[in-house]
Amino acid sequence: MPTSRGFGIADFERAFDEFFDELLIDRWKCGTPAVEFERAQIIDHPDHYEVRVAAVGVDPAKIQAEVSGQRLALRMPDKLGGTLESSFAFSDSIDGEASTAKWAEGTLVITVPKKKARRIALNH
């Protein structure tokens, strides 16, 4: 039975199901590492960003990090055989070539240097 706005009970039930599928089931499928992955810390230093991601139980050799433009993308396996992905956007331009990553006690630490502004000399 449609309402005055044309949104019927079937539409409501479908929206309700999609909401709970996304909220509960998709998070459950990812397992515990997804929760840790979502808790990434980004520390803004004057000359670089430091990204810290807890990834207990993940093989560091299977973690992929990629810098492109002003974005850092991370991919790592989850406990169920899938892949967790996340990306971080920075307000400053970053130097992907000079970025480094290290692994210590279940935590991935990525250092992403900020690109310095370049002055352009004016020819008179």
Can you give the pLDDT at residue 46? 92
Closest CA to 107 of 64, 66, 72, 55: 55
Q: Model-level pTM?
A: 0.64
d(CA 39, CA 110): 14
47 three-class SS: coil
Question: Taking Cα atoms as reference points, which of 118, 112, 117 lies closest to residue 45?
Answer: 112
Instruction: Map out the domains of the chain with their CATH numbers.
Output: 33-113 (2.60.40.790)
Strands ordered across the beta sheet of 107-113: 41-44, 48-54, 107-113, 100-104
Per-residue pLDDT of the chain (124 residues; tens, 9 = 90+): 444 455 567 676 776 666 655 555 444 444 444 444 657 899 999 999 999 998 888 888 889 999 988 889 999 887 778 888 888 888 888 898 999 999 988 899 999 999 887 788 888 7
Q: What is the pLDDT of residue 37?
A: 60
